[in-house]
Amino acid sequence: MGKTALLFTGQGSQCSGMGKDFYESYPCAKQVYDKFNVVTGKSISELSFQGSDEDLRMTINAQPCILAMEIAAFEALKSQYDLHIDFAAGHSLGEYAALYVAGVINLEAAAGLINARANAMSKVNTGAMSAIIGLGEQELREVLKEASKKGYVDAANYNTPEQTVITGENDAVAAANELASRKGAKRVVPLAVSGAFHSKLMIDAAEEFEKFVIKAELSNAKFPVVTNVDALPTTKAEDFRVKMPEQIHSSVKWVQTLNYLKEHGVDNFIEIGPAKILSGMVRKTLKDVKISAISTKEDLEKVINDYKVEV
């Protein structure tokens, strides 16, 4: 086997009951939820295990619940198997799980930072986002340029070669949706979000969040985290301090991240998150790689058994 990268899912992957089997089966996972409950001042465990879909769609709840699940699942994995990790990356909020596993932030800092990030982002309730599927890069650029006559619109997430999420002001995103359909997009899917994430409309949120990041205790990474804002490997604490607020209003360069990992020897990916979303993105972007996903205790046991057979 070549190199291994851990990938962590972002917002939109949440579901009621996520993480419950880890909490009930592994003391180290329970400790993660106990810490999140204390630091955030609310029961992240109760929200995660019993919260309604409506509760969990709220940014202020979704972000800490997803991060707690991902860290709990990682700690459960670590308690059962000594996995060698070469790189980590996370999609949007998933990057905070990557920072945790790489030793950049400890558990208390992870809970505090994601709570502050969610609070700042939840205050932005303007703008829209849509997924554009099956439109070429050149055509998409033309769509964004034309739609920008109606207002601000930009690319938010480069998810796969076939799928890009756009973000911006309502009228401009609506115009881009119509233009994309006319130019031959296979599908245009408006997203149910509270605001235009990963756009300049989030700059105020980024500035508010930066106040927390400046005070946070950060360490150099034990192995590189390939960051969303530039798809480059990062290890220095002070570089993360700059990139963390910047990520809120910058595009998520996910295709570029996956390509970087493959080009640097990664042929084994393990996704950790409430839903198996990134696995599909890997399959649509890269060839000749192995991808596993951990959403449940059963998934975890299967991944460990597979590794024991291969090693």
- The Cα 296–Cα 235 span in angstroms is 30
**Strand ordering across the sheet containing 163-168:** 153-158, 163-168, 128-133, 187-190
State whether residue 130 is helix, strand or coil. strand
**Strand ordering across the sheet containing 87-90:** 233-234, 225-226, 87-90, 3-8, 266-272, 290-294
198 is catalytic: yes
CA–CA distance from 59 to each of 91, 126, 210 (Å)? 15, 14, 18
- The Cα 110–Cα 122 span in angstroms is 18
Residue 85 one-letter amino acid: I
92 is catalytic: yes
| Contact criterion met (CB below 8 Å) for 232 and 241 | no
Buried b (16+ CB within 10 A) or exposed e, 91-128: bbbbbbbbbbbbebbebebbbbbbbbbbbbbbebeebb
Residue 220 burial class via C-beta count within 10 angstroms: exposed 0-12, middle 13-18, buried 19 and up: middle
Identified catalytic residue from 45, 92, 194, 250: 92
Identified catalytic residue from 91, 130, 198, 295: 198
- The Cα 56–Cα 71 span in angstroms is 18
Name the phi and psi angles at 11, rounded to 5: -65, 145
Q: Which positions are catalytic?
A: 92, 198
